[in-house]
Amino acid sequence: MIPASKWRLAGLTVIIVGLLAVLGFRLWYLQVQTRGTYVSLATQDRIRDVVTPAVRGEILDDTGQPMVQNQSSLTVAVNMSVVSQESGGGTAELSRLAQLLGISDTVMQQRVRLCTATVHQPCWPGSPYQPIPVAQNVSQQVALEVLENRASFPGVTASIQPTIEYDQPIATATAQVLGYLQPITAQEVKKLHVPVTGFASDDLVGQSGLEAEYDKELRGTTGIDEVAVNAAGQVTSTIKDVKPKAGDDLVTSINANVQLATENALKSAILKTEAEGNTQATSGAAVVMTTTGRIVAMASWPTYNPSIWTGGINEQEFNQLFGTADGEPILERATQGQYFPGSTWKVTTTTAAVNAGYSLYSDYDCPASVDIGGHVFNNDFGNGGMMSLQTALILSCDTVFYNFGYDIWLKDNRQYDDVTSPSFPVQEEQQTELQWGFGKPTGVDLPGEAGGTVPTREWLYYLWKDNAHTGEDWCKYGNANGSYVQQIEYEDCVSGNVWTPGQAVLASIGQGYVAVTPLQLATAYAALANGGTLYSPRIGEELVSPTGKVVQQIVPPVDGHLPASAATLAYIRNALQGVVTQGTAASAFGGFPLNKVCIAGKTGTAQVAGNMATSNFASFAPCNNPQYVVVMMIPDSGYGADVSAPAIRQIWDAIYGLEGQPPALQNGQLPPPPHITSAGVIVPTAASIGSQQPSPGLAGLATGLSLTADTEPGGRPLGRPG
């Protein structure tokens, strides 16, 4: 062998030995050093979670009657770990099942395919080892055919599963209060720390209303089975079995009888104004609550049938719910609608005037108009002459309150009226309005509540800052010599951050920048009626476990006290009694049996440029021992005395059973909470109302679970005002 060959052989030997050494080290590293990691990964690969959804709790009215309940329905599910073992991956079996269920092969394949980064809905978001629901509310005939033909449908089951049902007519009357459920998102899964069950093709979570506010309590606890599977994907054993725990039931303070009467009165008032030729009046809200903060009824119009959410919603239905063309029926106007309160606001101005040193027992001039800051502000009914403050409230003399607003403005930190900082102090009158509970959310147990507007200096500063050169861009589009709108924009650009006497005057009668929600107005009048205690209103009354235990009693918390003495509040209450007997609401309550139930209230007519006025009425009863407050606000409809006040009269008739109406509340008293048995059965304290019927049993599943999704009772098209 020549020397060169020896060197090449030696080099090759070194390379081979080196490679063997590297391979040996790598084998040692994998088998010894990282053994624990790979054992753990292997264990994870053979452990699968099978999730069982919990039965969602029901939402009940104050007597225990269901508004939203869980019904049992027949559901067909496919176990793809079994079906995929069939020849052709189970395609033929799935096709036979699709034909039985009356759906296309394409839809079936979409329902059983797994969701991945590249495969989006419709698809299965849960475990591949878990039965996939492919059809709900199937007939007993279909279910029996599946169960009796195991050979044709291996891996396919039919079983009873819970589904959400809405009891009518109360569910439609309270649609916005109840809220709705929608498929859970990845963000919500992470936020709520819940496993994806995939029940009914998507996990559902509360998106609005009570369904969202009490979602955690209603949802319950999901059951999870840990199962071991082999390399072929077959289940070999059950490692852990955690049973699902049903959610709690929510008993509310909503009284179905009062709710239906309130919704009907609101709807009738709006439809009546439309029938008279006013096409602008298409929406409104009404609230009935106790003087201790319990919401008895809360209606919003237009409304809709919440069954539309069952089984998914299409684009047309979505547009009907959220689009303005149909009145945006999804909006809860009682808590999210913000309107000018008009003269219902004068109770706050009266309080501010008394706190500023004006006497309750003096007479005040009520001229036909006043000239303030170069602007003329008119009284609605001309010259009223000298009158007491009580008469000014009864007749709703604007000029008396204009002068109060102007005089308080004159004496109130004038050096801060050119608002160049958001830290400037709150004006004296606006401080009183804030203490009445306005300008902030009431804290009601519903999400998305609006806060209304009290135009403080801080609020005015940010309004100007956000719109002078951005937002509305007043400085760009304003023109001192342009159109009316351009002139307003020019003035707002130059002096939009100045608190002027004109703004103070308009705010004194609930106009200008002032805005409130119907619930805020009801909460304030409840405080007036009860002697000064502001409550944060509540709809939830108690949460009841599946075993019948009351796990939480929900009590409206105290949120403050009105900035007025007991004498001042008594004076205002007495004046509001006169509004109904001899003032602006006298015509609306003509012939009403006030000797049986004394009503006190205040009309409000808020003028809106280019539109009809907002019609408001706020009331409470009985006068000497107020128990309930009823408020209604209908924008673009007319005078408070002509639209809202007559409608509220109908609500009082319904509550107490007056003028030929059956009483919604026996003797005017709310029923006691429902009785709950040791077995968790809720025994209602009153009979079913309207068309509500006991829940259908399994024998009625084929027909009893069908609800019309695109119409309301009587066949009226969804979301349309009539």
- Percent pLDDT > 70 in the chain is 82
> What number is the average pLDDT over the span 213-237?
73
The band of 710, judged by pLDDT with boundaries at 50, 70 and 90, is: very low
**pLDDT digits 0-9 by tens, 551-569:** 999 999 999 999 999 999 9
**pLDDT digits 0-9 by tens, 287-303:** 999 999 999 999 999 99
Give the dihedral sign, CA 303/307/311/316.
negative
Residue 337 has pLDDT above 70, yes or no: yes
The pLDDT of residue 54 is 76
> What number is the average pLDDT over the span 624-653?
95
- Largest Cα–Cα distance in the chain? 136
**For position 389, which CATH number holds?**
3.40.710
**pLDDT digits 0-9 by tens, 588-631:** 999 999 999 999 999 999 887 778 889 999 999 999 999 999 99
Tell how far CA 461 is from the center of its chain.
30
Given a contact cutoff of 8 angstroms between Cβ atoms, the answer to whether 708 and 305 are in contact is yes
The band of 702, judged by pLDDT with boundaries at 50, 70 and 90, is: very low
The pLDDT of residue 530 is 97
Is residue 585 situated within a structural domain? Answer: no
> Tokens in use for 242?
């955690």
Least confidently predicted of 35-39, 374-378, 471-475: 35-39
Rg (CA), the chain: 33
- CA-wise closest residue to 350 among 459, 510, 577: 510
Residue 719 has pLDDT above 50, yes or no: no
Least confidently predicted of 241-255, 399-413, 434-448: 241-255
Structural domain count, the chain:
1
Residue 310 has pLDDT above 80, yes or no: no
Mean pLDDT score of the chain? 84
The pLDDT of residue 79 is 86
For residues 197 and 112, which has the higher predicted lDDT (pLDDT)?
112
3-state SS assignment for residue 368:
coil
Least confidently predicted of 7-21, 291-305, 364-378, 397-411: 7-21
> Tokens in use for 266?
């609101």
CA 256 – CA 62 distance, rounded (Å): 8
Instruction: Specify which of 75-89, 238-252, 257-271 reaches the highest per-range mean pLDDT.
Output: 257-271
Give phi and psi for 139, each to the nearest 5: -75, 160
Given a contact cutoff of 8 angstroms between Cβ atoms, the answer to whether 594 and 406 are in contact is no
The pLDDT of residue 233 is 55
Instruction: Give DSSP secondary structure letters for 573-622.
Output: HHHHHHHHHHSTTTTTTTT--TTTS--EEEEEEEEETTEEEEEEEEEEES
Residue 312 has pLDDT above 60, yes or no: no
pTM over 0.85: no
Least confidently predicted of 37-46, 160-169, 302-311, 534-543: 37-46
The band of 43, judged by pLDDT with boundaries at 50, 70 and 90, is: low
> What number is the average pLDDT over the span 212-234?
75
> What number is the average pLDDT over the span 253-281?
93
DSSP symbol at 685: S
Is residue 453 situated within a structural domain? Answer: yes
The pLDDT of residue 391 is 97
Its domain, for residue 411, covers: 344-513
The band of 127, judged by pLDDT with boundaries at 50, 70 and 90, is: low
> Tokens in use for 10?
């030696």
Least confidently predicted of 184-188, 511-515, 659-663, 687-691: 687-691
CA 561 – CA 535 distance, rounded (Å): 9
Is residue 459 situated within a structural domain? Answer: yes
Is residue 27 situated within a structural domain? Answer: no
The pLDDT of residue 199 is 40
Is residue 415 situated within a structural domain? Answer: yes
Tell how far CA 483 is from the center of its chain.
40
Tally helices (H) and strands (E) across the chain: 26, 27
Residue 404 has pLDDT above 60, yes or no: yes
Is residue 352 situated within a structural domain? Answer: yes
Residue 110 has pLDDT above 90, yes or no: no
The band of 158, judged by pLDDT with boundaries at 50, 70 and 90, is: confident
Is residue 430 situated within a structural domain? Answer: yes
For residues 52 and 518, which has the higher predicted lDDT (pLDDT)?
518
Residue 50 has pLDDT above 70, yes or no: no
Is residue 127 situated within a structural domain? Answer: no
The band of 120, judged by pLDDT with boundaries at 50, 70 and 90, is: low
Work out the burial of residue 609: count CB atoms within 10 Å of its CB; fewer than 13 is exposed, 13-18 middle, 19 or more buried: exposed
CA 241 – CA 238 distance, rounded (Å): 7
Secondary structure string (H, E, C) spanning 613-665: EEEEEEEEECCCCCCEEEEEEECCCCCCCCCHHHHHHHHHHHHHCCCCCCCCC
Residue 701 has pLDDT above 60, yes or no: no
3-state SS assignment for residue 435:
helix
The band of 386, judged by pLDDT with boundaries at 50, 70 and 90, is: very high
> Tokens in use for 573?
């209450």
Q: What distance, in Å, lies between the first and last C-alpha atoms of the chain?
A: 108
- Percent pLDDT > 90 in the chain is 55
Residue 708 has pLDDT above 50, yes or no: no
> What number is the average pLDDT over the span 528-550?
95
The pLDDT of residue 568 is 97
Least confidently predicted of 23-37, 86-100, 412-426: 23-37
> What number is the average pLDDT over the span 15-33?
76
Give the dihedral sign, CA 153/159/165/168.
positive
3-state SS assignment for residue 114:
strand
CB atoms within 10 A of CB 465: 15
Least confidently predicted of 29-43, 156-170, 485-499, 527-541: 29-43
